[in-house]
Amino acid sequence: MLALAIGVWGLGALGALLARGRASASVVGALSAVAGGAAASAAGVQALVSGAPVLWHWPWAVPAGALMLRLDPMAGAFLLPVGVIGALGAVYGAGYLRGHGSAASTRVAFAAYNVLCAGMALVVTANHMLLLIVAWEGMTLSSWVLVVHDHAAAEARAAGVQYLVAGHLATAAILLLALVMAAANGSFAIAPLAGPAAVPAGLLFVLALVGFGTKAGIVPAHVWLPDAHASAPSHVSALMSGVMITMGFYGLARFLPLLGVPAAWWGYVLVALGAAGLTGGILFSLAQRDVKRALAYSTVENAGLATLGIGLGVLGAAWHDPILSGLGWTAALLHLWNHALAKSVLFLGFGAAAQRAGSRDLDALGGLLARWRWVGSATTVGAGAIAALPGLNVFVSEWLLLRALFGAVLRGSGAGEVVMIAALIAVVMGGAIALAAFARLVGVALLGAPRTPAAASAPEPGWTMRAPLIVLAAACAAVAAAPVPVTGVLAGAVALASPLADTRIATALVQPLGLVLPALVLLGALTAGARAAVRRAGARRYSATWGCGYGAPSAAMQYGSTSFGSGITAVFQPVLQARIEREAVPGGGPAGALWPVSARWASVTDDPALRRGYRPLFARIGRVAARVRGGERARVTTSVLYLVAALVLLLGMLFVPGIGA
């Protein structure tokens, strides 16, 4: 099944590239992605249910390489979202790309999409580090092609460069990790550390955290994510935000147990980074005007929640607390699934709104739910899900995380107890602000009166784009209605991530949550029935919204994207560091004249980590490199000289005792 999926995706990529027109490329590309996704989902479910690993081994011409695949419950847990979201995203993409770019770009987009799916499937099933790195690169490069799909826009190109740099710094860390582990194990096969490694296990943990955490969107290595995820076509944004970040978490879940019994500080680091990510991510989401950037920052938030869960799982292992370890890992893995479903709904829904209204600016949308019955309603369900409302799926995993934290506070002592309390406060604050953030997205983009003529006339997308949204929204409800089987099937993966974890406790605890949705539906039906009986008696009239006595209210008077969140963002201004950009519009008249002239005013919230941290750092590296290079007069001879110097240095290392031997 797995080989079939990868084969179909590979053929689909070729087919989409070779297809003659846009329509045939869409059909070939989408059909192969759906077929591959179905096969991958089946393989994932089978691996999760059966529990026994299946191994493949073929020779590979690469030195020290071997095509080794392993499909075990861990691989299955991460393969399933690749298949499901990959297939549904492709169906949506066939409709979405129809009105987007040229025929050639559609061909390339579908080819890259299939390669991306195949790459992710290979990442989670590779049982050999070189194969993993090759698949990882394939995933990064094919997604880069999709990020720069709209390469006419300068911001997409900038996002692409940033993404490539971040991706390759991460790959470098993974390569180092692989080399050190292979040196200790004598082979590149992915296996537990057999002997003492050249460096302490803590350093290997840091390498894994940097390498995999960058892809996962863990703070502070998240800075590439909002730009890259927002620039890609919306079905690719869904796949990147919902699924590709889980590849980073897969790396952590696969490699951390290989490094032996974890130290407690690994867990503390993960909990701290998770808490920073989830609070920071949702605050920045609330401050964005660009709807897709807001969604991407919410991905940083959810990556933080998953990181915090993994941190609890690691702490549980370090403290020999099977319950905490089991709950932490289960919450993290389940949250990644739930987030994949809900975030895909949101990217597909708001992405369609942005495409049809011709702008990603929240304040250029509005009033869509009234006409977009299906897409609007499904998107609202997705927003409710990701705001962790009871009765939908994300609530189950956030509940599990909070339950784990409450339990840990009760069982912990000393420093551990204080850290758990701090983490609990962070999760609750993040959840409360998430409600504001997603009420804002739905309220400003889908409700109220249309804010622009384009939004007022935008037609609802057709069924190829509607159907995936409806399926995903229904899946959000289904997971909430049946939390026991969904949580239970993760037990095998949790056992692989943390051998001492209690894998049954989570399943037992979530059982009552399955009743929440039916109870709410039942109570709701009763109340709505009573309400309908009253309504039949009374008269019903329709009129304009009451303007509090003002006779000419306009759409521009509605609360907008910035004003809605201003109560919260004002308090957190020291964190957000929003800046006001104002300028007089050219031709508006002399500035400073007696009469007001037309002007532009914008509140910009860009990432301080990028503005204060990475940009100055990279600028300094660039200046140093320029000086080494010899400024503008770089010559071939100088380059050759550096090359020779490096070779001599490497040769010299052969004679250093301890390295050369």
Partner 1 sequence: MNHAHVGSSLAALAVLLVIAPALSGVVVRTKSAFAGRRGAPVGQLYWDLFKLMRKGTVYSTTTTWIFRAAPVVVLVSLTAASLLLPLDGQASPVQFSGDLIAFAGLLALGRFALVLAGLDTGSSFEGMGASREVTVASFAEPVLFLGFLGLVLATRRLTLSAMLGPALTAAWAHQTASLALVALAFFVLLLAENSRVPVDDPATHLELTMIHEVIVLDHSGPDLAVILYASSLKLALFAALIVEVAVPRDGLGLGWSLAAFAGGLLVVAMAVGVVESVMARLRLNRVPQLIVGAGALALFGIILLLR
Query: Residue from 194, 418, 585, 604 that binds partner 1 (CB under 8 A)?
Result: 418
- Token code pair at residue 264: 């407690």
What is the smallest separation between the CB atom of 364 and partner 1, expressed in angstroms?
15
What angle is formed at CA 434 by the lines to CA 433 and CA 440, rounded to 5 degrees?
95
Please report, as residue ranges, which positions from 388 to 407 form the binding site for partner 1 (by CB under 8 A).
388-391, 395, 399, 402-403, 406-407
**CB-based contact 368:555 (threshold 8 Å):** no
Here's the x/- map for partner 1, 115-134, by CB under 8 A: it reads as: --------------------
**Residue 86 near residue 37 (C-beta atoms within 8 A):** yes
Burial tier of 483 (Cβ tally within 10 Å: 0-12, 13-18, 19+) = buried
Closest contact distance (angstroms) between CB of 295 and partner 1 is 17
Nearer to partner 1, 20 or 531 (CB): 531
Determine if 4 is a binding residue for partner 1 (CB under 8 A). Answer: no
What residues have CB less than 8 Å from 156, skipping those under 6 apart?
Answer: 147, 148, 149, 150, 231
The minimum distance between CB 234 and partner 1, in angstroms, equals: 23
The reply to whether 425 sits near partner 1 by the rule CB under 8 A is: yes
From 2-10, 130-138, 143-151, 417-425, span contacting partner 1 (CB under 8 A):
417-425
Please say which residue, 227 or 502, places its beta carbon nearer to partner 1: 502
Contact 68, 79 (CB under 8 A): no
Q: Comparing C-alpha atoms, which of 293, 534, 315, 284 is closest to residue 420? A: 315
Nearer to partner 1, 300 or 388 (CB): 388
Question: How far is it, in rounded angstroms, from Cα 291 to Cα 559?
Answer: 16
By CB under 8 A, the residues from 529 to 568 that bind partner 1 are 531, 534-535, 537-548, 553, 555, 557-559, 563-568
Which C-beta is closer to partner 1: that of 221 or that of 305? 305
Contact mark string toward partner 1, 22..51, x via CB under 8 A: ------------------------------
Q: Is 509 in the site for partner 1 (CB under 8 A)?
A: yes
Q: Is 422 in the site for partner 1 (CB under 8 A)?
A: no
Question: Which of 127, 338 has the CB closer to partner 1?
Answer: 338
In the stretch 350-389, what mask flags binding to partner 1 with x, by CB under 8 A?
----------------xx-xx-----xx--x---x--xxx
Residues 6+ apart with CB under 8 A from 62: 130
Residues 630-649 that bind partner 1 (CB under 8 A): none
> Omega before 453 cis (within 30°)?
no
Lay out the site mask for partner 1 across 444-463 (x = CB under 8 A, - = otherwise): x--xxx--------------
Considering the complex, state which of residue 531 and residue 633 has its C-beta at the smaller distance from partner 1: 531
CA dihedral 301, 302, 304, 308 (to 10 degrees): 140
3 state DSSP class of 554: coil
Closer CB to partner 1, 546 or 601, in the complex = 546
| Residues sharing a CB contact under 8 Å with residue 171, sequence separation 6 or more, in sequence order | 133, 136, 137, 140, 211
Which residue in the set 180, 193, 432, 575 belongs to the binding site for partner 1 (CB under 8 A)? 432
248 token code pair: 């980073």
* Joined tokens for residue 117: 């799916």
| Six token digits for residue 35 | 């077929």
523 CA to centre of own chain: 35
21 in contact with partner 1 (CB under 8 A): no
Number of residues that bind partner 1 (CB under 8 A): 81
Indicate the residue among 160 and 382 with the shorter CB distance to partner 1: 382
What's the number of CA atoms in the CB half-sphere (13 Å) around residue 620?
5
Contact 516, 390 (CB under 8 A): yes
Q: Which of 228, 516, 576, 610 binds partner 1 (CB under 8 A)?
A: 516
